[in-house]
Amino acid sequence: MPRIVLFENIHASAREVFVAAGFDDVVTHAGALTGEALREALQGANAVGIRSRTHLDQAVLADLPDLRAIGCFCIGTNQVDLETAALRGIPVFNAPFSNTRSVAELVLGEAILLLRRIPEKNARVHEGFWDKTADGAYEARGKTLGIVGYGNIGSQVGILAESFGMRVIYHDIEAKLPLGNAHATSSLKKFLGQADVVTLHVPGGKDTVNLLDAEAIAAMRPGSILINASRGTVVDIPALQRALKSGHLSGAAIDVFPTEPKSRDEALDSPLRGMQNVILTPHIGGSTQESQENIGREVAEKLKRFISSGTTKGAVNFPEIAYHEQAGTARIIHIHQNVPGAMGALSNLMGEFGLNIVSQQLQTRGKIGYAITDVDGEATDQVIEGLRRHPITIRCDRV
Ligand SMILES: NC(=O)C1=CN([C@@H]2O[C@H](COP(=O)(O)OP(=O)(O)OC[C@H]3O[C@@H](n4cnc5c(N)ncnc54)[C@H](O)[C@@H]3O)[C@@H](O)[C@H]2O)C=CC1
Ligand SMILES: O=C(O)C(=O)COP(=O)(O)O
């Protein structure tokens, strides 16, 4: 019976999937934990579910000999040391599509609100002031939306924006099929100079740190708007604050921050707090009832299928082997160093234990190889221990 530990208020749909599969040992935590509290909560976990706030770095992973799989119940996986996880034989799964629409809808709504200067007007009316003016208020129709990162979210934002009559341009490091009438722009600087609203949809991680730095922000059109619902590290926040203060930018919507509070008891520390025409939201771009329920089910299904059949389809850091029915009397999963002769060694060992291989699937990725072997014979503890002792073995289990 695997022990599954879930953090960060993962939707109840996840637990339902595990319990229906007979995995009753599910421990849930409402918030994200750090340091000793995180280590303690993870002890004995065979599978762990997190969202964007729980960091599973090299030191945390090194302490978890029983951990077999990680589920990121979100899109981003930058909070996990993917390389270390792979080298320890731990596949990492996520939900690449389930909350994309939620983010896209929010971004478009924010673009319209900011073009009309609604955040500051709303605040003024709440204070009792009836500031009825068209100054600084514009329609979205005819304006240019610039999308940085034209992936699953960026491309949906583009389609929604076109339905409002916006012109859409995008900048991506990969060649992407333009949807609708969108146009690709290869130079980020040129791109930034053309857009009335710039929205960021790149992944987090070291390659995108401060992608929007002071120089890039200076290259944006005077009076334009910046929206960031990707990762907080993508924007140089002090530079953004200066640009908003000087009036170079007319507004911003920021959903993600370089350092985010771990729970609702902590306050956000940001120089953007209290600024006019700046929408600040607590990383809720993907937080809708629809998305969270779907994500709960989707990632739990991936973890369940890995635990019960060994399939790694959809893993972001691991050789992928699709689901296939078990042949023979036992299934053994074997994660090993990707070196010449690995499969020969594995097959010979199985032969020595009297197991007849009836089906074998192998995939490799970088330094690791992953084999699912169906055998006729008994995969006893002694067999599994024997396979584990071989120097190429990273991890070996019966499923
Ligand atoms: N605020 C929230 O609640 C949410 C935030 N996110 C964030 O949004 C990010 C994007 O999500 P998806 O669109 O689903 O990812 P995706 O992987 O489909 O698209 C990302 C795109 O960015 C491009 N890209 C990467 N580096 C780039 C660079 N330096 N310059 C320009 N383009 C670059 C990629 O080629 C790709 O086309 C996620 O990685 C996650 O961090 C995702 C969901 C919810
Ligand atoms: O899906 C993502 O990458 C997100 O940023 C959403 O994160 P969350 O699940 O709301 O912590």
Ligand 2 pocket residue status of 235, Cβ below 6 Å: no
The rounded average pLDDT for each run of 10 residues, N- to C-terminus, in the chain (399 residues) is: 96 98 97 94 97 96 96 97 98 97 98 98 97 96 98 98 98 98 96 98 97 98 98 98 98 97 90 97 97 98 98 98 96 98 95 96 98 96 96 96
Ligand 1 pocket residue status of 158, Cβ below 6 Å: no
- Model pLDDT, residue 271: 98
- Model pLDDT, residue 116: 98
Phi, psi (deg, nearest 5) at residue 122: -60, -45
Choose the residue to mutate in 10, 13, 99, 287 for probing ligand 2, maximizing ligand atoms within 8 Å of C-beta: 99
CATH code, residues 100-280: 3.40.50.720
Ligand 1 pocket residue status of 191, Cβ below 6 Å: no
Ligand 2 nearest-atom number relative to CA 286: 6
Ligand 2 pocket residue status of 304, Cβ below 6 Å: no
Q: Give me the interface pTM, i.e. the ipTM.
A: 0.99
Cα of 233 to ligand 1 centre, how many Å?
A: 13
Cα of 75 to ligand 2 centre, how many Å?
A: 6
What HEC string does 92-158 produce? EECCCCCCHHHHHHHHHHHHHHHHCCHHHHHHHHHCCCCCCCCCCCCCCCCCEEEEECCCHHHHHHH
**What's the CATH class of domain 1-98+289-317?**
alpha beta
Choose the residue to mutate in 52, 103, 257 for probing ligand 1, maximizing ligand atoms within 8 Å of C-beta: 103
d(CA 104, CA 106): 6
100-280 has the same fold as 1-98+289-317: yes
- Asked if 183 contacts 169 with a C-beta cutoff of 8 angstroms, the reply is yes
Q: Where are the domains of the chain?
A: 1-98+289-317, 100-280, 324-399
Cα of 285 to ligand 2 centre, how many Å?
A: 7
- Model pLDDT, residue 152: 98
Ligand 2 pocket residue status of 54, Cβ below 6 Å: no
d(CA 372, CA 354): 17
Catalytic residues: 231, 260, 283
Choose the residue to mutate in 9, 29, 33, 52 for probing ligand 2, maximizing ligand atoms within 8 Å of C-beta: 52
Q: In angstroms, how far is the first alpha carbon of the chain from the final one?
A: 11
- Model pLDDT, residue 228: 99
- Model pLDDT, residue 300: 98
CATH code, residues 324-399: 3.30.70.260
Ligand 1 pocket residue status of 13, Cβ below 6 Å: no
